[in-house]
Structure 1
Amino acid sequence: MTDIPQITDSHCHLDFPDFEGQLDDVIARAAEAGVTRMVTICTKLKNEPAVRALAEAHAPVFYAAGTHPMSVASEPMATLDDLLAIAQNPKCVGIGETGLDYHYTAETAQVQQTSLRVHIEAARTTGLPLIIHARGADDDMARILTEEHQNGAYTCVLHCFSSSADLARAALDLGFYLSMSGITAFPKSQDLRDIFATCPMDRILVETDAPYLAPPPYRGKRNEPAYTAQTARRGAETMGLEYGDFAAHTQANFDRLFTKVAQFKGTT
């Protein structure tokens, strides 16, 4: 396995019921595929203790925490103090996921925007990367990210990027990162691949968003971190690189953005 290029699943949901009782096998399969690290995402702060325990129990797993935009109306509003306290944990390496989703929950747009700005302030204060979910809200997303960046710099990744070229450009102009998910490997996603093909190679990450969005040949099945390799191979083709070179670039990108992971001393 030593000659398999190493990659990182920068966004997954290992606390979801889909993986219950199977994590050791899931992590072992990931390692066999070269996926040696993964960031599992807490989407509701009430679940943070369980997500934290999961990360602390598995050396390759790190976590981020926030309130998903689709949940902000039904969950207590995250406060800056809440997020700063969580961020003190050595394995908490990001803020979010947060963002805007007007596709499913446009009726809560205003409270989503309020929550997003709280998360941005937490990212700015801690220096941890902001993890963004954006769907059907490109104009407001670009506007808020830009306004807040003018108020003080912060780092950010637009996870599972599948939005417009305009939002991609706005994010890249701010120095942010875009993450490739299994969507980029779908046969009908050529327009999305074309957007990524124009991106600087030093701004691209890879992820699964597991258990969702499995890439071919697993489409329609439960996604898992091992399948990051399929997305990354398609990404290498998109960027015109050999797989090993693409993997090395995404590893360097991840380490540059998720500095707390790169500096973590507790892994074996």
Structure 2
Amino acid sequence: MNPDASNASSEPIAGETVRHGTGVNSTRAFPTTACPTHLDPFVLFERFYIDPDDGFPMHPHRGFEIVSYMLEGGMDHEDSLGVSHTATPGEAMHITAGKGIRHSELPANGAGCSGLQLWVNLPREEKDREPNYADAAADDLPTLEEDGATITTVVGGGSPLEPTTELTYHDVRVTDDWTWTLPDGWTGFLYGVSGTGTVDGHEFEKGDVFPLTESRSVVLESERGNETETETESELRVVAVAGRPNDEEIRQQGPFVL
């Protein structure tokens, strides 16, 4: 049993608004009041909204990895490795903080931005590894059509991003019925990006999270919509994330995971 997720819910949970010290608002999936545990190997997951005059000035991280995936606008990234990059919608960035890295995340071109950020714990023997950075353009991330869904792979087969911890991360646009199966022994979650629908028969919408700590299949269904709804409004968009647990306690202290 994953020690950090033993109390995870089997039903969708509404995300919680978190306000960061710089004035940035996020809708956090976990850990929150309603979902207080980490989901080994995952430390946290949230959707961030950065207004034009806000952002994350240069700050440190240590002991984990970060996967950022842009949804709207652009975000300027700079770090202590000398990297400077602007991430745009559909683009992903991967940072291995390892023994220590500093970086900033600020809205680009005087406009706000929004995206998703995942923190992944590094196993104990990897926490002092050298820091690293990589990114992937939208065209680098493979997209395929399945029955009931269009799936873009952010991390996993075909993606150039290769975190230390074995995991998969998919951006899924559910157009009808689609089934997601959690691999044996893995932990995972679904997070609502936009639209409405159901997960295992439960209502599911933007900002909701559905944690999974036992291997099984989950059926997602998009809201069919009516004649006044657009295709985008009736389409359920989620991210489906799964990873192999490290079976180690996750000890987070602010920007550090010890």
Fold match by TM threshold 0.5: no
TM range (shorter): 0.3 to 0.5
- TM-score, length of structure 2 as denominator length: 0.38
Structure with bigger helix share is 1
- TM-score, length of structure 1 as denominator length: 0.37
